[in-house]
């Protein structure tokens, strides 16, 4: 008997009850320097080291919450022949797959799940394919260990990502199939790409969507989430019984470390947030906009910054600086390696990369005990003895993928909190 979860996320900091992860596998290795950029990477990861670091990350989360893995969930749902065929048919409609459908349908559930993520090798059984420079008949999902982007829980529903790059579209399709068909999850999915009004300008990714409070979203307008994508979210929020708010932060197109809002701003506690100060707090040309939706009426106005906009809505958070307060170079270096990208396990209980030493020092100055993830996993430290802390995750390879702890998590259940 599978215990089911009612999907529910009404804040970024509520105590974590359920999360979906994906350990980086051979899909991470299945690229070369020649196609890394096409796979949205700027470097090649060492899989063995990345998996060791990820095992530590997963181990910490398992001490807080129920953890599910994408591969296991996918294998479960495709044991249903109808679900399997529907998923495969949709993939073939969306992608140019250079093998016959019957080849995939003949695989075991476990092997099919693996190949849908790690890629299907192109058979060299005719001259065209023999001469092809392509290695894969179905490309690997190189970015899937960043489970945040392809689906996001907003209250009791799951909004699917409308991915900015075609190489990631299958991730959202797999996550929709899981939430639609796996008995563990009680929810409804909302897929922008299936809306009658959908067009290619509507892109939304989970790294840009943060839930400040049940009625307040903070969304980055970035190279991955467009103004049209945010307009789509506004349409979904039109409510006759409650005013909804969206605070939009415009992000630079470059460098690539500004890919999503959560690389520059994350919530840490009831009264604290992590910021990349030059973008989030200092005057600059990137706008902060407050959108209010009241009974179908939309009003839009500019704000000084996210922190001031939240304060006007009754959410007072102290900004803690990524990279510390003294040296802009330290801020930039640590932001590049996901120094602002923290994931809350509960209010005031967060996890992020220990390599960002100036950021960790700044958290410590603000009352966060520093707990090495390795010591938690080994049992040397009992996290139950600490009320406010930052778990420092070893990270030499994982940050090179372009994301941090928040990027690598898809929370689907958190306890509600009282403000």
pLDDT in tens, 211-240: 999 999 999 999 999 999 999 999 887 665
Q: Encoding tokens for residue 390?
A: 């930052």
User: d(Cα 9, Cα 216) in Å, to the nearest integer?
Assistant: 12
Mean pLDDT, the chain, rounded, equals 93
When divided into structural domains, the chain yields a total of 1
336 with 255: CB under 8 angstroms?
yes
CB-based burial label for 212 (10 Å; 0-12, 13-18, 19+): buried
Non-local (6+) Cβ contacts of 96 within 8 A are: none
Phi-psi sector, 188: left (phi>0), alpha (psi -120 to 50), beta: beta
User: d(Cα 78, Cα 52) in Å, to the nearest integer?
Assistant: 29
Q: Which residues pair with 290 in a beta bridge?
A: 247, 301
DSSP string, 181-200: H-TTEE-EEE-GGGSTT--T
pLDDT 10s digits, 75-129:
999 999 999 999 999 999 999 998 999 999 999 999 999 999 999 999 888 888 8
The answer to pTM > 0.85 is: yes
When pLDDT is cut at 50, 70 and 90, the band that residue 402 belongs to is confident
Residue (of 251, 261, 247) closest to 300 by Cα position: 247
Given a cut of 60, is residue 37 above it in pLDDT? Answer: no
Of 405 and 418, more confident? 405
Judge whether 133 lies within some domain.
no
Helix (H) or strand (E) holding 218: strand 216-221
Q: Which domain holds residue 36?
A: 5-84+140-414
Judge whether 49 lies within some domain.
yes
Of 419 and 388, more confident? 388
User: d(Cα 105, Cα 84) in Å, to the nearest integer?
Assistant: 8
Average pLDDT over residues 370-398: 94
**Confidence (pLDDT) at 256:** 86
**Confidence (pLDDT) at 40:** 47
Judge whether 306 lies within some domain.
yes
Judge whether 345 lies within some domain.
yes
Residue (of 91, 83, 94, 132) closest to 115 by Cα position: 91
User: d(Cα 6, Cα 27) in Å, to the nearest integer?
Assistant: 31
- Residue 339 per-residue DSSP state: T
Judge whether 105 lies within some domain.
no
Which CATH number is 235's domain given? 3.75.10.10
CB-based burial label for 99 (10 Å; 0-12, 13-18, 19+): middle
Given a cut of 50, is residue 299 above it in pLDDT? Answer: yes
User: d(Cα 323, Cα 360) in Å, to the nearest integer?
Assistant: 8
Share of the chain above pLDDT 70, in %: 95
50 with 398: CB under 8 angstroms?
yes
Residue (of 209, 50, 266) closest to 58 by Cα position: 50
Residue (of 406, 319, 322) closest to 359 by Cα position: 322
**Confidence (pLDDT) at 405:** 97
Judge whether 134 lies within some domain.
no
**Confidence (pLDDT) at 39:** 46
Given a cut of 50, is residue 317 above it in pLDDT? Answer: yes
User: d(Cα 399, Cα 356) in Å, to the nearest integer?
Assistant: 11
């Amino acid at each position: 008997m599978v215990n089911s979860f009612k999907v529910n996320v009404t804040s970024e900091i509520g105590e974590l009850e359920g999360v979906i992860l994906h350990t980086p596998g051979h899909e991470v290795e299945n690229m070369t320097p020649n196609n890394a950029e096409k796979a949205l990477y700027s470097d090649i990861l060492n899989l063995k080291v990345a998996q060791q670091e990820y095992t530590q990350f997963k181990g910490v989360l398992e001490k807080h919450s129920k953890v599910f893995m994408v591969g296991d969930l996918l294998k479960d749902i495709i044991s249903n022949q109808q679900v399997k065929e529907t998923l495969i048919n949709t993939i073939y409609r969306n992608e140019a797959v250079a093998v016959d459908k019957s080849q995939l349908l003949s695989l075991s559930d476990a092997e099919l799940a693996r190949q849908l993520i790690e890629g299907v090798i192109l058979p060299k059984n005719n001259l065209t394919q023999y001469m092809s420079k392509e290695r894969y008949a179905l490309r690997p999902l190189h970015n899937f260990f960043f489970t945040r982007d392809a689906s996001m829980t907003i209250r009791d529903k799951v909004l699917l990502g409308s991915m900015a790059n075609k190489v990631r579209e299958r991730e959202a399709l797999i996550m929709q199939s899981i939430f639609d068909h796996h008995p563990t999850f009680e929810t409804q999915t909302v897929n922008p790409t299936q809306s009658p009004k959908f067009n290619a300008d509507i892109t939304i990714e989970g790294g840009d969507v943060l839930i400040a409070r049940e009625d307040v979203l903070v969304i980055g307008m970035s190279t991955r989430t467009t103004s049209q994508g945010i307009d789509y979210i506004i349409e979904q929020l039109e409510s006759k019984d409650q005013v909804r708010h969206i605070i939009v932060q415009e992000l630079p197109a470059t460098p690539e470390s500004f890919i999503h809002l959560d690389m520059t701003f994350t919530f840490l506690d009831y009264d604290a947030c992590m910021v990349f100060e030059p973008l989030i707090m200092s005057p600059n040309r990137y706008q902060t906009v407050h959108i209010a939706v009241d009974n179908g009426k939309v009003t839009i106005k500019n704000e000084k910054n996210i922190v001031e906009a939240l304060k006007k809505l009754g959410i007072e958070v102290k900004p803690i600086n990524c990279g510390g307060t003294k040296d802009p170079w330290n801020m930039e270096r640590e932001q590049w390696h996901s120094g602002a990208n923290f994931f809350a396990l509960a209010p005031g209980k967060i996890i992020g990369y220990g390599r960002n030493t100036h950021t960790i020092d700044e958290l410590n100055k603000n009352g966060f005990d520093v707990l090495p993830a390795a010591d938690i996993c080994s049992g040397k430290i009992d996290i139950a003895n600490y009320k406010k802390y930052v778990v420092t995750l070893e990270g030499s390879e994982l940050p090179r993928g372009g994301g941090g702890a928040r990027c690598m998590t898809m929370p689907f259940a958190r306890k509600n909190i009282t403000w």
